[in-house]
Chain A
């Protein structure tokens, strides 16, 4: 009954699947990946590699270097380092990402998520719907609404107490940051609400029994528990904001006088208005590099939690 010794015998070997059938199965298995692979390779991988090359050329949109462009080594990089507008653009990008994205959207989103836990259902769902509506609107619509709002005589100018000044000329960066915060808060609110719902109620109740007040519980219990969600929120907001183009471009075209030319806008201006496709690509590559550095920083912060949750 029990089998202890088992010397291998001739009929004991693995019964192999017929080779042809296994080959057919393999092709059928992978064939369904081909269409998406074609799209991703053709329109993602190849352009990415091509971008790395173009960033080191003097390609132009029109003129003599449109057809016969050549490899110019580090010329674009050198130009970039000595380009004060580029450095202004980096600064503006960081202000835009950190000010309107990381700080404003996250703080507002978290506040709304926390309030949502404690206010009555009608207030929560109606305010939630308004905030989400702002997020669902096409970006061009948001740009137009805030453009109009900040005109001389616009409602925003009235609220600021300077009814006769055009805010997009006087404080352009502030206006575009406000527009972006208005538009993006819903994402943080939704993500963080979901995170807060997953905080076990018992943990909070245990802290209450220990006599901890609301703020203490928020900072020592709730926020540490949703820290992974917060970090993911920051990561996604950063990646979305850093490559944002439409909102600012439609509102200001980067102006006045490059005062709102964040990197994507500056890239567009250099590439398609000043015809400098090669230099534009260098700027785009820098943008990706900044995004990658920020992402890695967030993921580093996130790693301990991820390991905890898997072990």
Chain B
């Protein structure tokens, strides 16, 4: 078990900068998920930790040791690959014991450990099979078992669930969490799936275009995204992003958007004064927008009117897309709302619950 520290790490392939000046600390025993769109540098980061790539600049420490030029075999890490990379010519048992065998562990020790891990993962009946004879879920377990067996310093996972079907994926999420609770090994997990990130991580590392965007626990990332990208990447359905103009007139400040003017409290207005331009982007989560019933008249909520364009019933809730002026707002509503396509609807939201970003830099203002 060890702490992983990346300091000012840069990696480029030819002209393309894959990871740009990355600073990251993964605490001992922490479960960190690196998430971002494809090509954001998350896999390169993982491969640098593993030792398959060498950083052009910066330092990588694992367990307090400088690792930049230590070959993968001497880093005492374990990794689960996206395609599992189970050795096709070896039985499950020999796949599991490979790491111990190349270290010349005793037969007895190998035997005990293999059976212990096989028991834990429920793959004992599979020990004599070859990978080709296993189902996707079984391969996944064997790959996990191979990684867990040696009690490595840290555990690296590269999109380990992306080749499983939806049901199995949910099941494996629970299982991974359970395993991590049982063996709290430092874990770096790479995925493009925000659901995996939100459900499993102690902290999420969000990357885009080779640059670190935000490192935060899931709830914080959801509630307080640092910029438009972070707000837009996390959350399903996506956060509503609406551009607005700040209007500091004598009668008090307001945001002009959605064909209306939303009055601002002085607290918010003061925070917006640091904006570089007159325009801002307002981010409102779909669950923060409510269809307004005729009786409802809570003070302080902005009310806009629009036309229902799409209705998506999901069972437990219904998502509706409402056109308001040039914008489309998505909101979550209770099921069986009796709405019809094309009907006019009033929506209300509290601007204090919204996140406001600078229109130019995209950084959060409040």
Q: Is the CB of A1 within 8 A of B57?
A: no
User: With contacts A2-B226, A2-B227, A6-B21 known, is A15 near B212, CB below 8 A?
Assistant: no
Considering only residues 272-298 of chain A, those with a C-beta below 8 Å from chain B are none
Contact A3 to B215, CB < 8 A, known contacts A12-B58, A15-B59, A15-B69: no
Given contacts A1-B214, A2-B214, contact A15 B23 (CB under 8 A): no
B residues less than 8 Å from A6 (CB atoms): 8, 21
Q: Are B58 and A1 in contact (CB under 8 A)?
A: no
A202 at the interface (CB under 8 A from B): no
Chain B interface SS verdict (over half): strand
- Complex: A12 Cα to B22 Cα, angstroms: 12
Q: How far is the CA of A14 from the CA of B23 in the complex (A)?
A: 15
Known: A15-B66, A17-B69. A1 touches B212 (CB 8 A): yes
Please tell me if B56 contacts chain A, counting CB pairs below 8 Å.
Answer: yes
- CB-defined contacts of B215 to chain A, threshold 8 Å: 1
Q: Is the CB of A2 within 8 A of B69?
A: no
- Tell me whether A161 is interfacial, beta carbon within 8 Å: no
Do B59 and A11 have beta carbons less than 8 Å apart? yes
Which one of A2, A13, A18 has the greatest number of beta carbons of chain B within 10 Å?
A: A2
Complex Cα–Cα for A18 and B69 (A): 9
Give the contacting residue for B57; candidates A2, A14, A17, A18; CB below 8 A: A14
Q: Which residue of B lies closest to A17 (CB)?
A: B69
Hey, what's the 0/1 contact readout for A1-38 against B, CB within 8 Å counting as 1?
A: 11100100101111101100100000000000000000
- Pair A2/B211 contact, Cβ less than 8 Å: yes
* Residue from the list B23, B57, B211 in contact with A13, Cβ < 8 A: B57
Looking at the assembled complex, report how far the CB atom of A217 sits from the nearest CB atom of chain B, in whole angstroms.
Answer: 39
The residues of B that contact A12 with a CB separation of less than 8 Å are: 8, 57-58
Residues of A within 8 A of B58 (CB): 12, 15
B56 proximity list for chain A (CB < 8 A) = 14
Is A3 within 8 A of B213, CB to CB? no
Report yes or no: A2 in contact with B213, Cβ–Cβ below 8 A: yes
Point out residues on B near A: beta carbons under 8 Å.
Answer: 7-8, 21, 23, 54-59, 66, 68-69, 211-215, 226-227, 363
Identify the A interface with B (CB < 8 A).
Answer: 1-3, 6, 9, 11-15, 17-18, 21
13 further interface pairs, Cβ-Cβ under 8 Å (given A3-B21, A14-B57): A1-B214, A2-B226, A2-B227, A2-B363, A11-B7, A11-B8, A11-B59, A12-B58, A14-B56, A15-B58, A15-B68, A15-B69, A17-B54
13 pairs, CB–CB < 8 Å, chain A vs chain B: A1-B213, A1-B226, A2-B211, A2-B212, A2-B213, A2-B363, A3-B211, A12-B57, A14-B56, A15-B55, A15-B59, A15-B66, A21-B69
Closest 9 A/B residue pairs (Cβ): A15-B68, A17-B69, A6-B21, A14-B57, A1-B214, A12-B8, A1-B226, A3-B21, A14-B56
